[in-house]
Amino acid sequence: MAQIGMDLNRFILEEERSHPKATGSLSLALTALTSAARIISSHVRMAGLADILGSTKNINIQGEEVQKLDVLSNNILIQHLSDSGQFFALASEELDEPVFPEKGKNGKYTIAFDPLDGSSNINVNVSIGTIFSIHKKVKGNIQDILQEGRKQVAAGYIVYGSSTMLVYSTGNGVNGFTLDPSVGLFLLSHPRMELPERGKIYSINEANYSKWDKKLKSYVDSLKEKNSSARYIGSMVADIHRTLIKGGIFCYPADLKNKNGKLRLLYEVAPMSFLIEQAGGKATTGSKDTLSIKPESIHQRAPVFLGSKSNVEELLTFLKK
């Protein structure tokens, strides 16, 4: 069993050795990702000192105002992932269309990512992060990106908070690594992460209460009657990280304004659902398994409820009434 303090690169290699047919390609892909994460983390730590705070005054494909750190993080990831030669295609929240790197023609994987989740919180020094989802290349075209979440070969996030942590899974449980800035290494700090069967915390943007359907309102009202604790940060990475450690439920439903939900299926809903399930939790749109949805477009949105199994099952009893 992996020991606390094990270097991430060694951990990746140990995982590779447990799969006799492994070629080392996924290990190289994950290494490129962690290299980019270390650089992004160093820039985030300089926010307020370097000229990387504030808006670029541009609007991205999502209709959101682009922050300077969004652009910086996206460029760093595109460069490192492309140069690795392991990725046939890259899809980013910040780009209208996927990128097919010249060096990745023979790459075995595709990756979809949100370079800096929670960027609206950058200027107020709240935790932000990077989310990623990796699939195998199958057909050698854009359809390789548009695969169900169930087919992910790896997924995870990096949270830039009081410390920088990388949490990921390759389908064999979830492990968390904390960046030691003194040596520049991600070290195993949270082995075999598992969600509590039930948690007392619920995370949802209650400012949208008036836009929810009656069943969801009834569920949230019941939580208040049980003296559950409400915690909502507004950075999905931070909210999911807390849920993964403390248990409970995270909700981003569809509503009157966002009839398909607001979070993106490929690089937010699917990878987080994969992690939650790998940690013993449950994820749903409210009517179907999030990981079974076949994406039709790169920036497709979907509602999501995920967290401790007991909490999610309780929610479903309300939604099915």
Mean local confidence (pLDDT), 53-79: 75
Mean pLDDT of the chain: 92
pLDDT score of 294: 96
Helix (H) or strand (E) run with residue 169 in it: strand 164-169
Q: What is the DSSP letter of 50?
A: B
- 116-162 residue pLDDT tens: 998 778 778 889 999 999 999 999 999 999 999 999 999 999 999 98
pLDDT score recorded for residue 122: 75
DSSP 8-state code for residue 266: I
**What does the pLDDT read at residue 54?**
55
Domain coordinates of the chain in residue numbers? 8-190, 201-319
pLDDT in tens, 210-265: 999 999 999 999 999 998 999 999 999 999 999 999 999 999 999 999 999 999 99
- Neighbour tally for 197: CB within 10 Å: 12
What average pLDDT does range 16-31 have in this prediction?
A: 83
Question: Cα–Cα distance between 147 and 265 in angstroms, integer?
Answer: 11
Above 70 in pLDDT, residue 169? yes
**201-319, CATH topology level:** D-Maltodextrin-Binding Protein; domain 2 (3.40.190)
SS3 for 319?
Answer: helix
pLDDT of 14 reads 87
Same fold across 8-190 and 201-319: no
Dig out the tokens for 302 from the structure. Answer: 């979907």
pLDDT for res 120: 75
Residue type at position 315: L
pLDDT of 234 reads 92
**Phi, psi at 26, each rounded to 5°:** -65, -35
How far is it, in rounded angstroms, from Cα 213 to Cα 211? 7
Q: Which amino acid is at 155?
A: A
User: Is the entire prediction scored with pTM above 0.75?
Assistant: yes
User: Is 3.30.1330.10 the CATH classification of the domain at 8-190?
Assistant: no
Cα separation, 81 vs 88, whole angstroms: 10
pLDDT band at 53 (very low <50, low <70, confident <90, very high): low
Q: What is the reported pLDDT for 18?
A: 75
Q: Over the Cα atoms of the chain, what is R_g?
A: 19
Q: Which helix (H) or strand (E) holds 318?
A: helix 309-319
DSSP H helices, 18-138, are: 25-45, 68-84
Q: What is the pLDDT of residue 108?
A: 96
CA distance 173 to 177: 14
Q: The sheet that has 229-230: what strands, in order across it?
A: 229-230, 201-203, 249-252, 304-307, 282-284
pLDDT digits (tens, 9 = 90+) for 54-66: 565 566 656 666 6
37 Cα distance to chain centroid: 13
291, 277 contact by CB (below 8 A): yes
Q: Which residue has the higher pLDDT, 277 or 45?
A: 277
